[in-house]
Structure 1
Amino acid sequence: MSRPRWSYVPPTAADDRLRGAVDEALLAFDERRRRDAESSLFRTLLDRTETAISATDAEGRYLYESDLNVDIDPSRAVGRTEVEAKPEYLRETAETDWEDDMHVIETGEPIYGKLRTYDDYHGYWERKTKLPRRDEDDEIRGLVGIRTDTTREKLAEKRLRRQADQVDRFARQVTHNVRTPLQMADSALAGCARSDFV
């Protein structure tokens, strides 16, 4: 164990056991403060972002589920898998998501930005990222899931596609309306002799 940055016991103290005990207590206090600060930062991230975050254990059971998830009551999700926690009408989707979770946990291969739509849920879109959650020994202990509602972006894309289609149809119509009289004039001119214009 390394000596803490600061110590209340002078190095000249006669009792090494006392100095060791105080140093250990100070190290533990430093570590606890660091963990509390990290926990506070994490809690702020969870509470202040519009991104839903979850964490599972190695069997895919929720350890944490943010309250932004519209399909799952966070208080009922902890200890359950996605299949167990989601409502019956989303069973097929939950099974697919759980299979993705197990793939990440078993292989360690993350899934980045997978786009998913829930047509049965009023055209809701989300982008999912699933990352393996590792311990200090780099062993996979579960996963962290990050979901972002992309419904507004998808609806904007649809509107832009519709508008682009309307502009394209309008341009074709204008082209047709201009080309048809020109083709008729060209045909009429082609049938005339050069002397007809002199």
Structure 2
Amino acid sequence: MPAGRRPAALGLLSPAPGAVRIPDRRRDDAPSERPVRPGGSGAGPAAPRGMIDRSPSLQRRYFEEYAAALRAEHPDWSPERVHTAASRYVSPPAIAPHSAGAAVDLTLADADGRELDLGTRMNASPEESGGACHTDAPGITAAARARRGILGAALSAAGLVNYPTEWWHWSYGDRYWALATGAASAPYGPHGAA
């Protein structure tokens, strides 16, 4: 798909009021009215006011918490090694696609809003999940694999790409999306201070 061209299927991602639930564990105390996809660029639909996937402050918190866990587990590592290792799982705040409105973490839920089993919890680290967080990980149940397939088929058809080390991470318009799709550039990038 050419860069900057909005796929028709992407309109299907504009939810009905009340259809999108942001679990309490994903909320950020920092107020923000920036939508998941900023409107007006032509690259994707604007999300309902107040809907946000991850603010810069929440991204910073995720990164710092994971780096702290790695430091505790590996007290002999240098600060640079901790930063590099943490960056393999959580994007550093300065370059995070979530904070730019270019990436979302998504799962499936039943009609009552209960999250379905996709093999790991959302945001399970590689260490915690034994690598089962990878989209094509072996060793997950057939039902979890099928649900990952459903999620992947719907989002891929809408023009999003999956970051293969996190089954829940999908992007449109960030640097990874540009690389995966062959687009000449990424229309979305980080902005604002955390």
TM class by smaller structure: under 0.3
Which protein has greater RCO, CA pairs closer than 8 Å, 6+ apart? Answer: 2
Give me the TM-score of the superposition, normalised by structure 2: 0.22
Give the greater-gyration-radius structure (CA).
Answer: 1
Larger % of helix: which?
Answer: 1
More strand by share: 1
| TM score, norm. by length of structure 1 | 0.21
